[in-house]
Every structure is written in structure tokens, then in C-alpha cells.
Structure 1
């Protein structure tokens, strides 16, 4: 097994466990909210905000994870009709567009959003954490997607017989 495959697998496994942890915290948070509201007769306002931020992180990191696994949503009716040579070309073009989207929208746009919210000292309503920390998942996930796209392009280029 080559070094890039080992790094790829290690990053995926770490990302997987991080998302499992976020999901477990989300479930505990919602259960605590239900418990406190119906059994204790009080409601904690921070639980709703924590659940929202957890869901944001899970969704954006999930996009990177699915990109790594190449299990993202796609419509491949026309793609399946292509010859092997044209499938390889189409796959490279798709990965280039994914890379560019991640770079322009997620990394550059995400860094701009993080910088702006941190520079303006915007805090979340209840937890009072800087919103830049919440939005930091965008450029991080975009960077991961870019790395995964480069990895996939290298695999497409090196594997002449399959995609």
C-alpha cells in the first residue's frame, strides 16, 4: 500500500470518528433538552444553539467525507453510456470542477466569512462563542475536499483500466 493511500485512509478514519463524536454529542444534547423540558420543567436555551452548530459541522464535514468515499449524490445516466476513455476524461473534469468549487466557495469564501465574523467580534446568541469558530468548518472542509479531489485525480490518471 502506498503512502498516499495510507494518509487518505487515516484522514478518512479520523474524519469518520470526529463526525461520530459530533453526532453523539448532538443526540445527548437533544435528549438533555427533552429531559429538562418535560421532566424538570425548565428549558436550557443553549441546547438549541449547540444542536444547530453541531448539525452545521456534521453536514459540512459529511460533504467532505462523502467526497472522499466518492459516495456523493450524482446523476450518472449519461456517464454510464461513455466509453472507458471518455469516462476517465469526464471523471477528471468533474474532479477539477469539484476542486475549483471547494477552493473558490468553501476555502476562499469560508476564510472571508471566518475573518469577517472574527474581525467584527460576532458572538453566538446563547453560547457567546465567536461565530468565526463555527464557520471555520467551511474552509477546513473545503481544504479536505480539495485534497480528496487531487487524490482521486491521481488515481484516475494512474489506473488505466478502471475509474
Structure 2
């Protein structure tokens, strides 16, 4: 039974990693598209050479998808904001053994709700069309259920990884106390500051 669950954990984490890689590159492409549309709108406004009527919708819809895909990628990488003041003061093992599973379940319930309600919202908007591009509004609205599904998959993969560890799991460990040491993070930030501060404006030798 343990081997079966370990294999399941491996496959789910591998699938999650693949989807997050696709989401990352899709988010980058959408960010570039949003930037290009916004710059095009500004250029047209100040030059009056031609009109770019669809620029606002392109930028807005791209941002919706980019935000949801980016949230899923950030969750996988442990990049969301976290407050650890209370967690760090709990007795050893208490959080990982009792509280982390509860947090996993709360997160999973929330993301599943986003997925289900987002899908219902997208279906209600299927008959609507955007004014400028005449695009069915179901396409931008689908960002909600897709993002919710990806984040729910992240939580499921992390739950399996915590119980049946594999080499495909995320290092972030979404609801675990085994995260990067804050001192190490501060040291990395200091190194990056030195790299991008060739004139030594911080006053350090």
C-alpha cells in the first residue's frame, strides 16, 4: 500500500511540476502581451496616428489570466506572503503534526470553492461578449476556475509529498515549518545587493 501511495505521490507531483512550468511560461507571455498592449495604447493616445481600440481589453484579460496562473506558480514555490511569528514559537512538531494538515484542508476547500464558483460564473458569462473585441466573456472568466484547480492540485501534491515523500516534490512545502531560514534569506538579499551595487553606495567594503 505504501508503494502505491508513494507512486501516486510521485505522479501527482510530476504532473504538478509540468503544469506549473507551462503556467510560468504562459504567465510570462501574458505579461509581455499586456505590456505591449498598454504601451501601444499610450503610443496611439499621444501620436494619434491610428486607434488601438482593443488594447484595454487585451491588457485587462491578460492580467486576469496572468494573476491566476502566477498565483498557482507562486504557491508551488512558496512565494506567497506568510506570517510566522506564532508558528515559530510553537513546540517542536506541534505545527507539522496537528496544524499543517488542518491548514492544508482549509486551503484545499477554498481553492475548490474558487474552482466551482468560478466555473459557474464563467458559464453565466458565456453569452456575453466584450465590446471592443467581441470576445465571448467565458474566456477571461475561465481564469478563475483554472487558477483554482491549479492551486488545489498544488495543495493535494503537497499533502501527498508530506505523507509520502518523493524526489519530485516542491521544496516550498506549502503548510510546513520546514522552510527557508530567515537568516539565509537575509544573507542572500545582502549578496544580491552587493552584486547590483557596484559603486558600493551602501558603504560596505
TM-score by length of 2: 0.70
Long gaps (5+) in structure 2: 1-9, 166-175, 179-205
Which of these two proteins has the greater Rg computed from alpha carbons?
2
Question: What is the CA distance between 1:32 and its match in structure 2?
Answer: 1.3
Q: How does 1:25-64 map to 2 (within 5 A)?
A: 25-64=33-72
Equivalent residue, structure 1, for 2:111 = 102
Structure 1 runs of 4+ with >6 Å offset:
none
Match of 1:111 in 2: 119
Q: Which protein has greater RCO, CA pairs closer than 8 Å, 6+ apart?
A: 2
Residue 130 of structure 1: aligned partner: 136
Partner of 1:87: 95
Structural RMSD (CA): 2.1
| Matched residue SS, 1:77 | coil
Q: Normalising to structure 1: TM-score of the pair?
A: 0.87
